[in-house]
Amino acid sequence: MKLEAVETVRVPMPLVRPFRTSFGLQVARDVLLVHVRTDVGEGWGEAAAHAEPYYNEEFVDASQLVIERFLVPAIVARGDFHSSDLSEIFRRVKGYPAAKAGLEMALLDAELRAADERLVDALGGVRSAVAVGVSVGITSSIDELVATVDGYVGDGYQRVKLKIEPGFDIEVLTAVRAAFPDLALQVDANAAYTSSDLELLRRCDHFNLLMIEQPFAVDDLETHAILAASMATPICLDESIVSLAATRRALDAAACSIVNLKVGRLGGVLSAKAVHDFCFERGVATWCGGMLESGIGRATNVALAALPGCVYPGDISASERYFSQDVTEPFILENSTLAVPRGPGLGVTVDLEAIRTLGGISRKVF
Ligand code: NPG
């Protein structure tokens, strides 16, 4: 295919409820979309970077510039290309996985629509609906957290992930577990602990958790391995899993037994699929993480979560959990699952009127 035009679109999307993690508070998403026109048709993608470089090094202003100044020119210089060439075309640009993911998503969408093929089928997905959960941010009190979880359970979520940080952990888990004895529960620390917290984290074994996600720093595989060897609850890595090579290192170091797949952290859905396949061959469970995406990124996440090795529910909640107005048709929760879109490409229709109403700003790149 050949690139004919590209625009980046920034859409301010207020969250229906603030989302606090150990690395910061978000009240709105600064969504970065990529719209491409090629000789075979159009496509849309989402670069799910965050406003500040607190989750990883990337942040959305930088992602937009990298798309405009480096990634798009690299594709144009190539001339004719296929979506499977993109990782090689992008290799010269170091980092910026969300920027690469957004552009790849848009081009895959265009290419697959032209072939009348669904993303889920191109990836090798095996499900028509995927099990999902909800990720619950840190609250100002335990009562507020229990009430929030109760609301989501009432909405139909059968798996809940709690964000934890030092000082918001054991007491919180004790209260939530007492209120919901049978709920599928897991925790995510976003790298907020250190090796001096090993004893405290081992106490998580009392709460029958599906997993503990990323307790320690991105590059601290050693402490993850020490914790993994000394507790029953599985350790899952998120931030540390930045590539296939990083996944191999983490598994070889026995730093985790579960891997979180995120399109915006791994540089695209094709890299996420490669990490999935590698884990699947080694018998390591995976699941699809989320970065508060709009309907465009969400459609991609749902397709990824349909892969056979994605055996835990994804952080892919219904659209209404995030936004009162999305930029595509909403994803709706049904029996704690989301349906995989039926149409070709990503399978969702972008609502240009919604983008306008939300105050989206488009910039022509090429
Ligand atoms: O439902 O999309 C969602 C949010 C899932 O908790 C979630 N994402 O650390 O995994 C994470 C976290 C996150 C939020 C990461 C914002 C980056 C930014």
- Please tell me the predicted confidence (pLDDT) of residue 136: 97
Q: Summarize the confidence of residues 22-26 as an average pLDDT.
A: 90
> Which residues fall within 8 angstroms of residue 36, CB to CB, at 6 or more apart?
3, 5, 6, 42, 43, 44, 45, 103, 106, 107, 110
What are the residue numbers of the active site? 163, 262
- Please tell me the predicted confidence (pLDDT) of residue 45: 98
Please determine, for residue 361, whether its predicted confidence score (pLDDT) is greater than 90: yes
User: pLDDT tens-digit profile of 76-94?
Assistant: 999 999 999 999 999 999 9
- How many angstroms separate the CA atoms of 304 and 312, rounded? 12
Please choose from 212, 291, 298, 323 the residue to mutate so as to test ligand 1's pocket, defined by most ligand atoms within 8 A of CB: 291
Tokens 């957290």 belong to residue: 145
- How many angstroms separate the CA atoms of 49 and 29, rounded? 10
* DSSP structural state of residue 310: B
Please determine, for residue 230, whether its predicted confidence score (pLDDT) is greater than 90: yes
- Please tell me the predicted confidence (pLDDT) of residue 269: 98
- Please tell me the predicted confidence (pLDDT) of residue 114: 98
SS3 annotation, 244-263? HHHHHHHHHCCCCCEEEECH
- Please tell me the predicted confidence (pLDDT) of residue 163: 97
Domains assigned to the chain: 3-116+350-364 (3.30.390.10), 120-339 (3.20.20.120)
Please choose from 21, 46, 236 the residue to mutate so as to test ligand 1's pocket, defined by most ligand atoms within 8 A of CB: 21
Q: How many helices (H) and strands (E) does the chain have?
A: 14, 13
User: pLDDT tens-digit profile of 99-122?
Assistant: 999 999 999 999 999 999 999 999
pTM above 0.95, yes or no: yes
Please determine, for residue 22, whether its predicted confidence score (pLDDT) is greater than 90: no
Query: CA–CA distance from 217 to each of 195, 197, 284, 303 (Å)?
Result: 10, 12, 21, 29
Please choose from 212, 292, 304, 333 the residue to mutate so as to test ligand 1's pocket, defined by most ligand atoms within 8 A of CB: 292
Instruction: Pick the atom of ligand 1 nearest to 262's CA.
Output: 10
- Please tell me the predicted confidence (pLDDT) of residue 205: 98
Q: Summarize the confidence of residues 224-253 as an average pLDDT.
A: 98
User: pLDDT tens-digit profile of 50-70?
Assistant: 999 999 999 999 999 999 999
Residue with CA nearest ligand 1 atom 12: 291
- How many angstroms separate the CA atoms of 143 and 347, rounded? 40
Cβ pair 217, 192 in contact under 8 A: no
Please determine, for residue 327, whether its predicted confidence score (pLDDT) is greater than 90: yes
Ligand 1 mean position to 134 CA, how many Å? Answer: 10
Sorting pLDDT into bands at 50, 70 and 90, what band is 15? Answer: very high
Ligand 1 mean position to 153 CA, how many Å? Answer: 19
Q: Which residues line ligand 1 (CB under 6 A)?
A: 21, 50, 55, 135, 188, 190, 238, 289-292, 315, 317
* DSSP structural state of residue 168: B
Crossing angle of the two packed helices 244-252 and 269-281, in degrees rounded to 10: 30
Cβ pair 348, 295 in contact under 8 A: yes
Ligand 1 mean position to 116 CA, how many Å? Answer: 32
Ligand 1 mean position to 297 CA, how many Å? Answer: 13
User: pLDDT tens-digit profile of 259-308?
Assistant: 999 999 999 999 999 999 999 999 999 999 999 999 999 999 999 999 99
Average pLDDT taken over every residue of the chain = 97
- How many angstroms separate the CA atoms of 281 and 13, rounded? 39
The amino acid occupying position 258 is I
- Please tell me the predicted confidence (pLDDT) of residue 304: 98
